[in-house]
Structures are given as structure tokens and as C-alpha cells.
């Protein structure tokens, strides 16, 4: 399996919709390719964050760094 095949198949892989043979090949590739392992980890994290963002809790994230919040607020102010 190539790096391109890994990135193209991640959605099916994470949804459990990839045939077991291809899933095993993807696992093997990711185990030996640091770039794909990092990409897979980032992809999983993005899906997790996106899911939580749309849960409708209405409460803002409480673990944001204060410097980030200040930078966002400063950027919103009219110049």
C-alpha cells in the first residue's frame, strides 16, 4: 500500500467499511511509515474535535490557552 492509498482510504478505514484485507495492508503501512502514522493521528484528532464541536452543548471550550483567546479577541476588534 502506498501513502496515497492510505490517505485516500482513511474515511472507509475509520468507519470500519474497508475490506479486512485492505485494512490489514493499511495497518501494516502505517506501522512502518511515520508520515502516515502522523497523518492518521491528526485525522483522528480532527474527526474527534469536529464531532465535539457540533454536539450542541452550547458551552465554549474551557481549555484554550489564554494567549490564543486574547489574539482572537484582538483580531476581531476594528482597527
- Nearest-angstrom CA–CA distance, 79 and 67: 20
Delineate the domains of the chain, giving CATH numbers in brackets: 3-76 (1.10.10)
Q: Choose among 16, 10, 68: nearest CA to 38.
A: 10
* Mean pLDDT confidence for 48-57: 70
Arithmetic mean of pLDDT, 32-51: 90
pLDDT in tens, 16-28: 999 999 999 999 9
Under DSSP, is residue 66 helix (H, G, I), strand (E, B) or coil?
Answer: helix
Amino acid at each position: 500500500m502506498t501513502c496515497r492509498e492510505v490517505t485516500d482510504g482513511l474515511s472507509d478505514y475509520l468507519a470500519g467499511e474497508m475490506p479486512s484485507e485492505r485494512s490489514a495492508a493499511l495497518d501494516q503501512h502505517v506501522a512502518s511509515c511515520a508520515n502516515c502514522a502522523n497523518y492518521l493521528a491528526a485525522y483522528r484528532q480532527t474527526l474527534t474535535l469536529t464531532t465535539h464541536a457540533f454536539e450542541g452543548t452550547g458551552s465554549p471550550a474551557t481549555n484554550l490557552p489564554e494567549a490564543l483567546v486574547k489574539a482572537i479577541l484582538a483580531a476581531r476588534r476594528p482597527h
